[in-house]
Amino acid sequence: MNVESSGQFHRAARGVLRWTMTYTRGMDARIAAGRQDEIASDLHEHAVWAGETGIGPRRLAWSIRLRALRGVPADLVWRSTVLRQADPGVRLALRADAALLAVVAMIGVVDVGLGGFVLFRLVRALVIGDVRSIPGPAVGAIVLSLIALLALMAIAGERQRGWAALALAVPTGLILAETGRALYLLSASAVVLVNRLPWWEPATYAIGAALALVCVTAAIHWLRLPTRERVGRPVTVHHEGEPRA
Amino acid sequence: MPRRRPGVLLPLELAILDAGSTMQASEESFFGFGLARALADRDGSALLAHGTLYKALNRMSEAGLLEAEWEAAETAEAAGRPRRRLYRVTGAGEAALRASVRPATTPSPVTRPVIA
């Protein structure tokens, strides 16, 4: 079997190229294209060499992935070096974009964590016989966390990031209150806490609304402009050789 | 992490200059994967990681130790493969390699075995 046309090689190569696209994001188009072309050439040459030396598709794919993985720290250092030489405005825009992404991702992780906790408490309560039927708020919290999980996964892709952040706003706005109601039915500690804090429900709605607003703001930011325009002028390094077609 | 002194080459950079000079002597230039293969054959090690290899090549090009040029699209098309980025060791690269090899090959009186 020809290793170059094997599915295993193509999957590994696609993964490496996707990673290359990720760490060259926001850079000058010439620098980014230069690195992407060079990696594409490397992958092709690697496959041709593997075919000539009798290396199978599985071992080739493994070797390609390992080379990419071992090179991740160097890729990140290279990216940081290129960006350091960039315009301060571009650097600031890229940092702000990354910070916004980190905040939204963190909100998503919290949403998923809350749903996971409710699921754990529900299973435990059912096993030890604390509840005989599944309480509605528990189902609500788990469903909301599943929506958050899907949105969180979609946020990883740049193209759908804006819509994903918008979708994340829905569970984020509701899950805190729903989790509180679910735990009230599943946990003795939650009952004590809720009885001591009569304002807990408005507070959870307020916090949920604030976090949902962050998601909506991020969504508007990501939907309004594509990455290149978001980060302003492209990063330029004069010494970098450009691809000559 | 200590900063590297300017003008001091890393072992990887020396290896690239050495292997690159050898490849250049027979093929005029060399390219990333060919170099990775040559280094792996020479040292009996695994192929260099993508990030490590291309970061070093980029840094050495910026330092003027190598010159890089993209292969003509027609040549790559005729061969049915993506374009290669072709590297050549510059005069400065050859001088840096010679300078780094010289002290190692000259035996030091301190390290010479003493015959009683």
Same domain? A104 vs A145:
yes
Pick the closest to residue A204 from A180, A168, A236 (CA basis): A180
In a domain, A124, yes or no: yes
* Residue A245, pLDDT above cutoff 80: no
Same domain? A110 vs A144:
yes
Same domain? A53 vs A116:
no
> What pLDDT sits at residue A8?
93
Please tell me the distance from the alpha carbon of residue A44 to that of residue A155, in angstroms, as a whole number.
30
In a domain, A47, yes or no: yes
Q: What is the mean pLDDT of chain A?
A: 87
Confidence band of A232 (pLDDT split at 50, 70, 90): very low
A96-A98-A100-A103 Cα dihedral, nearest 10 degrees = -140
Same domain? A65 vs A180:
no
> What pLDDT sits at residue A130?
81
| Residue range of the domain that includes A33 | 3-85
Least confident of A23-27, A39-43, A178-182: A23-27
How many separate domains does chain A show? 2
> What pLDDT sits at residue B3?
60
* Residue A241, pLDDT above cutoff 60: no
Contact (CB<8Å) B50/A245: no
Q: What is the 3-state secondary structure (H, E, C) of chain A?
A: CCHHHCHHHHHHHHHHHHHHHHHCCCECHHHHHHHHHHHHHHHHHHHHHHHHHCCCHHHHHHHHHHHHHHCHHHHHHHHHHHHHCCCHHHHHHHHHHHHHHHHHHHHHHHHHHHHHHHHHHHHHHHHHCCCCCCCHHHHHHHHHHHHHHHHHHHHCCCCCHHHHHHHHHHHHHHHHHHHHHHHHHHCHHHHHHHHHCCCHHHHHHHHHHHHHHHHHHHHHHHHHCCHHHHCCCCECCCCCCCCCC
A84 or A72, higher pLDDT = A72
> What pLDDT sits at residue A227?
53
Residues of B in contact with A78 (CB under 8 A): 51, 54-55, 58
The yes/no answer to whether this complex scores an ipTM above 0.90 is no
A231 or A171, higher pLDDT = A171
Same domain? A205 vs A95:
yes
Point out the domain boundary residue: A36, A58, A85: A85
Contact (CB<8Å) B51/A243: no
Residues of A in contact with B31 (CB under 8 A): 41, 45
Same domain? A222 vs A153:
yes
A191 or B111, higher pLDDT = A191
The partner residue sitting opposite A74, judged by closest CB among B51, B69, B72, is B51
Same domain? A208 vs A98:
yes
In a domain, A241, yes or no: no
Contact (CB<8Å) B84/A41: yes
Point out the domain boundary residue: A62, A85, A108: A85
Q: State whether residue B37 sits within 8 Å of chain A by CB.
A: yes
Per-residue pLDDT of chain B (116 residues; tens, 9 = 90+): 556 666 678 899 999 999 999 999 998 999 999 999 999 998 888 899 999 999 999 999 999 999 999 999 999 999 899 999 999 999 999 999 988 876 555 554 444 443 43
Point out the domain boundary residue: A31, A62, A85: A85
User: Please, what sign has the CA dihedral across residues B84, A79, B15, A46?
Assistant: negative
The partner residue sitting opposite B51, judged by closest CB among A46, A72, A239, is A72
Helices vs strands, H then E, count in chain B: 5, 3
Q: State whether residue B88 sits within 8 Å of chain A by CB.
A: no
Contact (CB<8Å) A68/B51: yes
In a domain, A243, yes or no: no
Cα distances (Å, whole numbers) of residue A208 to A110, A153, B26: 11, 20, 68
Tens-place pLDDT, residues A30-70: 899 999 999 999 999 999 999 999 999 999 999 999 999 99
Residues of B in contact with A68 (CB under 8 A): 49-51
Same domain? A21 vs A40:
yes
A69 or A188, higher pLDDT = A69
Same domain? A223 vs A203:
yes
Same domain? A26 vs A147:
no
In a domain, A239, yes or no: no
Q: Work out the minimum CA distance from B13 to partner chain A, whole angstroms.
A: 14
Q: Work out the minimum CA distance from A178 to partner chain B, whole angstroms.
A: 46
Section A114-138 average pLDDT: 89
> What pLDDT sits at residue A45?
95
Residues of A in contact with B53 (CB under 8 A): 42, 71
Q: State whether residue B35 sits within 8 Å of chain A by CB.
A: no
Please tell me the distance from the alpha carbon of residue B53 to that of residue A27, in angstroms, as a whole number.
20
Ordered domains of chain B (ranges, CATH): 11-104 (1.10.10.10)
Same domain? A206 vs A113:
yes
The partner residue sitting opposite A243, judged by closest CB among B49, B58, B70, is B70
Q: Work out the minimum CA distance from A90 to partner chain B, whole angstroms.
A: 22
Section A85-109 average pLDDT: 86
Residues of A in contact with B55 (CB under 8 A): 71, 74-75, 77-78
Residues of A in contact with B54 (CB under 8 A): 35, 38-39, 42, 71, 78
Q: State whether residue B84 sits within 8 Å of chain A by CB.
A: yes
In a domain, A155, yes or no: yes
The partner residue sitting opposite B62, judged by closest CB among A44, A72, A239, is A239
Same domain? A58 vs A94:
no
> What pLDDT sits at residue A226?
58
Residue type, A86: A
Q: Work out the minimum CA distance from B103 to partner chain A, whole angstroms.
A: 30
In a domain, A236, yes or no: no
% of chain A beyond a pLDDT of 90: 58
Flag whether the pTM goes above 0.90. no
Q: State whether residue B66 sits within 8 Å of chain A by CB.
A: no
In a domain, A206, yes or no: yes
